[in-house]
Amino acid sequence: MFVDAHAHLDKYGDLLDEALQQIQQHRIFTIATAMDLPSYFQLQRIAERSDLVLPTFGVHPRRAPEYADRLDELSPFIEQSPAIGEIGLDFHWVEDSSQYPAQLKVLEYFFAAAREQKKMINLHTKGAEKNILDLLEKYDIQRAIIHWYSGPLDILRAMAQFGAYFTVGVEVLYSDAIRAIAKEIPDHLLLTETDNPGGLKWLKGVVGMPTEIKKVVDSIAALRGASSVSVARTVHENFLRLITGDPWLEDVRGLLSQ
């Protein structure tokens, strides 16, 4: 079984059927992260079609300004979601710094809920890696997936020390900086993702399909001088360890333990 720890299945449009077929056929367990409420509702419907799809609720930092003053509305959806994400900060692609306080407000609301509900979270950290590290410590968030990390190596090491897991995604096929990061991530904290369908679209102008995860695994294997099978197994074991004891994800654990 492959693990795609961060994808946006609601963005597939006409290609959704094909994407779900690939997920089934190639056994790709997929965390379907939401960007906002409408996206979460869509993902919940999509997940009814596959037991390999886990829909999770979050508000993406780009969407944070729309939600910062109506956080109470979010709480029932946070409560029903089995894990949290996509949430985070983006101080790089979002250049308008007047939006940063809203990003922080939304993120801290989710962090407080995740701590209380003991939920795994899926994090966007672009250009705000140190801020995220500080907040992970402040809220004592034990189970975090740092998605598509591309920041400084010293912060990566500090996050790893704290116990965060990291996804390597499709950019490992094209970027030396990401390859350096992929080599730096300790074995026991390594996960894989695609950020489909937009990740590859952003990099190469083509829609990313679920089987891209295999290329990511192959690429990590080549970098680490390991076999693809052993990298896929390591990622699988890491993900199982990450969700061990999580009452929200017992079914997932059962499914992945088969």
* Strand 121-124 versus strand 84-88 pairing type: parallel
> What minimum distance in Å lies between the beta carbon of 227 and Zn ion?
29
> What minimum distance in Å lies between the beta carbon of 7 and Zn ion?
8
Binding site for Zn ion (CB under 5 A): 86, 195
Of the candidates 221, 141, 125, the one whose C-alpha atom is nearest the C-alpha of residue 173 is 221
Q: Residues in the chain, how many?
A: 258
Q: Read off the tokens for 84.
A: 């949290």
Question: Which single residue is written with the structure tokens 């950019």?
Answer: 171
Gap between the Cα atoms of 246 and 83, Å rounded:
10
* Nearer CB in complex with Zn ion: 50/167: 167
Of the candidates 181, 191, 188, 138, the one whose C-alpha atom is nearest the C-alpha of residue 157 is 181
* Nearer CB in complex with Zn ion: 39/44: 39
* Nearer CB in complex with Zn ion: 10/195: 195
Q: What are phi and psi of 76, to 5 degrees?
A: -60, -30
* Nearer CB in complex with Zn ion: 10/86: 86
Question: Which single residue is written with the structure tokens 């693809």?
Answer: 228
> What minimum distance in Å lies between the beta carbon of 88 and Zn ion?
9
* Nearer CB in complex with Zn ion: 4/86: 86
Gap between the Cα atoms of 97 and 164, Å rounded:
27
> What minimum distance in Å lies between the beta carbon of 1 and Zn ion?
21
- Omega prior to 171 cis, within 30 of 0: no
Q: Return left, alpha or beta for 17; rule: phi > 0 is left, psi -120 to 50 is alpha, else beta.
A: alpha
* Nearer CB in complex with Zn ion: 195/217: 195
> What minimum distance in Å lies between the beta carbon of 20 and Zn ion?
18
> What minimum distance in Å lies between the beta carbon of 33 and Zn ion?
6
